[in-house]
Amino acid sequence: MSRVRLPLAALSLASVSALVLSGCAQSTDASKDTGNSAASASAATGKKPAPFSAGAVKVALVRQSGAGDYFEQWGNGAKAQAKALGIDLTVYDAQADNAKQATDLSSAINSGAKAIIIDHGFPATIQPEIDKAVKKGIKVVVYDVETATAGVVSTKQDDASMAQAVLDVMAKEVGKNAKVGYVNVAGYAALDKRDSVWKSTVTSQAWKQQFKVGKVTDSTATDNVPLVSAALTQHSDVAGVFAPYDELAKGTVLAVQNKKLQDKVKVFGADVSNADIQQMTAADSPWVATAGTDPSAVGAAVVRTTALELAGQLNKTSVEFPAVAITQDFLREKKIANMDQLREALPALNLSQVSTADWISNVAH
């Protein structure tokens, strides 16, 4: 929230910010499957430090992924970077089952992994296992997970800057004292941070919030259509709706179109992916702005952060990935149809200089 995370993906979606998707948990080996990532790796020039100098390093990725291609791209970036580094990566994905994620984390702890990456998740569910991992001397790197455990490295999208970037656009589009709508869900780290910026902006812009609806499910976009449609039936005079996770934004867009309000109601989202770009640039789309990170670049950067931590070279306890504002006008003007074209048009999305070293084969996006 990336989904979004972010990216604003992933809750980044996001931060995406444990955004969830139902399905079967799975385990894959990055040396066998790097997904559909188009990423390539630049050659390393430096000598590998321990433990990488001794061969493949076992790392576990414990995910709580969400709906939409943001999470798929994030995973592809992580797998591609792991392969480039010679990491033996095992991926677990609980997909909406919090108890399963705790079990997955326990399995990862007992798997012999030197490090564990936790991608999203509810702190209350996984905190005991995080503590166990740290006590066993396993390096733990979390993405969009709130934890106070000493020794854990925190990585995340800069969700506050992400929300602020798109809300700055919204302020220009709808003006002060406007009637607005809000589609969001409490309880997810990234969405809660974006919510704080929303509340501040509502006050500073003197907006009149007419409704707040939203839920996260295994079909978030589809399941939010009736909620937003019902809200728009009562409040068809809103000038704009903020939905700070791309799956929430997709459902909002469909609701606005179903109510035939696309010429009156503007949608402002968060996160960015191929599907988001296609929906934003479609004819008569009310989705006029989003903000995000490149989910593939973020996934790769989290793996590089983990590698530096394993090598004793990170020397920090947190890494943030800045977001970029993206407007519908920009996408249409530049004829951008996918993430590859967006990366070329917006170099700020490239995180290749984040968490890197001369011994790291850095995945290029």
Residues 276 and 186 in one domain: yes
* 215 within some domain: yes
* 168 within some domain: yes
Return the higher-pLDDT residue of 41 and 74. 74
* 359 within some domain: no
Strands 266-268, 87-93: pairing is unpaired
For 64-87, write each residue's pLDDT tens digit: 987 667 788 899 999 999 999 999
**Range in 54-58, 90-94, 146-150, 344-348 the model is least confident about:** 344-348
* 11 within some domain: no
Residues 231 and 186 in one domain: yes
Angle at 142 between CA 158 and CA 252, to 5 degrees: 50
Return the higher-pLDDT residue of 86 and 10. 86
Residues 182 and 227 in one domain: yes
Q: How high is the pLDDT of residue 15?
A: 32
Q: How high is the pLDDT of residue 157?
A: 85
Range of the domain at 216: 159-292
Model confidence at 129: pLDDT above 50 = yes
Residues 183 and 62 in one domain: no
Percent of the chain residues past pLDDT 90, beyond the cut: 72
Mean pLDDT in residue range 118-145: 95
Q: Are 308 and 357 in contact (CB under 8 A)?
A: yes
Model confidence at 18: pLDDT above 70 = no
Last residue of a domain, one of 292, 312, 340: 292
Residues 150 and 237 in one domain: no
Q: How high is the pLDDT of residue 20?
A: 33
Residues 151 and 298 in one domain: yes
For 166-188, write each residue's pLDDT tens digit: 999 999 999 999 999 999 999 88
Return the higher-pLDDT residue of 39 and 17. 39
Burial class (CB within 10 angstroms; exposed 0-12, middle 13-18, buried 19+) of 85: buried
* 223 within some domain: yes
CATH of the domain at 58: 3.40.50.2300
Model confidence at 253: pLDDT above 70 = yes
Q: How high is the pLDDT of residue 285?
A: 98
SS3 332: helix
* 338 within some domain: no
Mean pLDDT in residue range 43-64: 95
Q: Which residues pair with 27 in a beta bridge?
A: 92
DSSP code of 124? H
Residue 120 and residue 140: Cα distance in Å, rounded? 13
**Range in 18-32, 76-90, 207-221, 346-360 the model is least confident about:** 18-32
Q: How high is the pLDDT of residue 353?
A: 83
Provide the mean pLDDT of the chain: 87
Model confidence at 88: pLDDT above 80 = yes
* 201 within some domain: yes
- CA atoms 248, 253, 254, 255: torsion sign: positive
* 131 within some domain: yes
Residue 200 and residue 11: Cα distance in Å, rounded? 20
Residues 184 and 268 in one domain: yes
Provide the residue type at 18 as one letter: A
Contacts of 327 (CB under 8 A, 6+ apart): 169, 288, 289
Residue 50 and residue 53: Cα distance in Å, rounded? 5
For 103-125, write each residue's pLDDT tens digit: 999 999 999 999 999 999 988 89
Residues 205 and 278 in one domain: yes
Residues 298 and 183 in one domain: no
Model confidence at 347: pLDDT above 70 = yes
Residues 71 and 130 in one domain: yes
A 10 A CB-CB count for 173 gives 15
Residues 245 and 298 in one domain: no
Model confidence at 350: pLDDT above 90 = no
Greatest mean pLDDT range, 143-147, 280-284, 345-349: 280-284
Residues 176 and 284 in one domain: yes
Q: How high is the pLDDT of residue 8?
A: 33
Domain count, the chain: 2
